């Protein structure tokens, strides 16, 4: 089985270094689509040779080959809804039918972003909506949360704890389902013990889908949240290791998860694609808990939960070398995967 990678690139300047990693030059080989600056596009769904992109009051159906907008589904916000929204301190979430017309509106604190320029990835799994978002207007902390959107109130909501150890300063990129887990890909400020000079580092976090929360005052918090450094780097024998530590995009395959990374070094116009085994990710996350025989390991008592809350970072990296590296005037910004492609 082979996989085809669709990579969307954005302009940068040119720079080249020697490497034994296969490289590609996409400077003159990519097509581009242009959208309005206020569309605030987000990737919604990939189905075969088409993708759905969400914009302001619209969804774009985009063909990959050729790269073109097939159709734009629009639903302008009514004056009545705008007036109602300005009176409230909550955001609104629209339940969209299969023809993309809003059918139901409900309070969306913690579910919908409070501003159109906020990147808040989401995932539906079972009856729950998982999202990485600020819990309310007064907060700037992005938390990893889960809620049944059809239930009123926040009594059933689970989230990461507030504070520096779990998701402080986090920029979320993608949420992916992985059997009994939900994986969160993000970047955050590097810790004191990590490589010198790295301003931000890539991470992968996970929670269990069957997590029911802690006890006492922590009953709204995950008992299964842990995170691990995500490394995509070229190990140099006679030179320093080249890290691609800026995570730009993530795409899920059947057995592998692909990440598009950039180098943060000034003047270095390079990007890379790395792949990580789903099974290896699960094993690494389970290693943080005492009971590793569960379908999805989590804290079993208050003592273990307290320790995991205060020490969620697994020190061992999930590390791999790039599948290929791109040097040129562009850098990777999005990646999609189409598997079961038959080569000639």
Q: How far apart are CA 338 and CA 171, in angstroms?
A: 26
- Whole-number pLDDT of residue 196: 54
Residue 109 has pLDDT above 80, yes or no: no
CB 337 within 8 A of CB 4: yes
Q: Is the pLDDT at 23 greater than 50, yes or no? A: no
Is residue 204 very low, low, confident or very high in pLDDT (cuts 50, 70, 90)?
Answer: very high
DSSP 8-state assignment for residue 313 = B
Cβ atoms of residues 273 and 258 within 8 Å: yes
Tokens of 134: 């600020």
Radius of gyration of the chain (CA): 21
pLDDT, mean of residues 232-261: 86
Q: How confident is the model at residue 122 (pLDDT cuts 50, 70, 90)?
A: confident
Q: Assess whether pLDDT exceeds 80 at residue 231.
A: yes
Q: CB-based contacts of 62: which residues, under 8 Å, 6+ apart?
A: 33, 50, 51, 52, 53, 68, 69, 70
Confidence of residue 102 (pLDDT cuts 50, 70, 90): very low
| Token pair recorded at residue 305 | 């939960």
- Band of pLDDT at residue 89, cut at 50, 70 and 90: very low
What share of residues in the chain are helix, strand, coil (percent, to 5)? 10, 40, 50
Q: What angle do CA 97, 336, 39 make, to 5 degrees?
A: 55
Q: Are 261 and 272 in contact (CB under 8 A)?
A: yes
Domain ranges of the chain: 1-7+40-105, 107-327
What's the pLDDT score for residue 103?
46
Most confident of 118-132, 158-172, 261-275: 118-132
Instruction: Please report which confidence band the pLDDT of residue 198 belongs to, taking 50, 70 and 90 as the band edges.
Output: low
User: pLDDT: is 326 or 286 the higher one?
Assistant: 286
Residue 146 CB partners (closer than 8 Å, separation 6+): 128, 129, 130, 131, 157, 158, 159, 182, 207, 211
pLDDT band at 275 (very low <50, low <70, confident <90, very high): very high
CA-CA distance, 248 to 314, in Å (whole number)?
22
In this prediction, residues 216-238 reach a mean pLDDT of 89
Contacts of 165 (CB under 8 A, 6+ apart): 309, 310, 311, 312, 313
CA–CA dist 332, 25 (Å, integer) = 11
Cβ(243)–Cβ(260) below 8 Å? no
The pLDDT value given to residue 186: 93
- Fold of the domain spanning 107-327: Methylamine Dehydrogenase; Chain H (2.130.10)
pLDDT at 309: 92
Please tell me the predicted confidence (pLDDT) of residue 286.
95
DSSP 133-187: E-SSTT----EEEEE-TTSSSSTT-EEPPSSTTTSTT-EEEEEEEETTEEEEEEE
DSSP 230-268: EEEEE--SSS--EE--EEEEEEE-SSEEEEEEE--STT-
- The mean pLDDT of 182-189, rounded to a whole number, is 92
pLDDT digits (tens, 9 = 90+) for 136-157: 666 667 889 998 888 877 788 8
Instruction: Produce one character per residue of 152-171: b if its CB has 16 or more CB atoms within 10 Å, e if not.
Output: eebeebbbbbeeeebbeebb
Q: Which of 13-17, 28-32, 194-198, 310-314 has the lowest mean pLDDT?
A: 13-17
> What does the pLDDT look like over 41-82, one tens digit per residue?
777 777 778 888 888 778 899 988 788 899 988 877 777 766
User: What pLDDT was estimated at residue 99?
Assistant: 35
Cα-Cα-Cα-Cα dihedral sign, residues 104, 180, 207, 333: negative
SS3 326: strand
């Amino acid at each position: 089985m082979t996989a085809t990678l669709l990579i969307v690139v954005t302009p940068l300047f040119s720079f080249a270094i020697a490497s034994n990693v296969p490289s590609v030059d996409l400077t003159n080989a990519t097509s581009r689509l242009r959208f309005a600056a206020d569309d605030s596009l987000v990737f919604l769904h990939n189905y075969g040779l088409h993708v759905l992109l969400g914009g302001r009051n619209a969804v774009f159906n985009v063909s990959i080959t050729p790269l073109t907008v097939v159709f734009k589904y629009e639903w302008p916000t009514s004056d009545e809804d705008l007036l109602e929204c300005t009176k409230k301190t909550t955001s609104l979430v629209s339940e969209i039918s299969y023809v993309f017309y809003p059918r139901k509106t409900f309070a969306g604190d913690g579910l919908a972003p409070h501003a159109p320029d906020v990147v808040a990835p989401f995932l539906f799994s079972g009856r729950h909506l998982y999202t990485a978002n600020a819990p309310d207007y007064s907060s700037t902390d992005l938390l990893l949360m889960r809620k049944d959107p059809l239930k009123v109130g926040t009594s059933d909501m689970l989230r990461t704890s507030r504070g520096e150890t779990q998701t402080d300063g986090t920029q979320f990129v993608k949420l992916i389902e992985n059997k009994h887990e939900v994986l969160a890909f993000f970047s955050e400020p590097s810790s004191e013990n990590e490589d010198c000079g790295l301003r931000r580092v890539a991470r992968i976090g996970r929670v269990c889908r069957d997590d029911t929360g802690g006890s006492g005052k922590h009953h709204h918090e995950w008992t299964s949240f842990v995170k691990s450094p995500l490394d995509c780097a070229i190990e140099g024998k006679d030179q320093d290791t080249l890290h691609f530590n800026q995570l730009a995009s993530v795409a899920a395959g059947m057995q592998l998860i692909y990440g598009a990374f950039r180098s943060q070094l000034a003047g270095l116009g390079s990007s890379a694609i790395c792949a990580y085994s789903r099974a290896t990710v699960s094993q690494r996350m389970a290693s943080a808990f005492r009971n590793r025989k569960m379908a999805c390991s989590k804290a079993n008592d208050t003592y273990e939960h307290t320790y995991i809350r205060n020490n969620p970072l697994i020190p061992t990296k999930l590390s791999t070398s790039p599948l290929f590296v791109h040097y040129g005037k562009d850098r990777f910004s999005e990646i999609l995967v189409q598997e079961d492609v038959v080569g000639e």
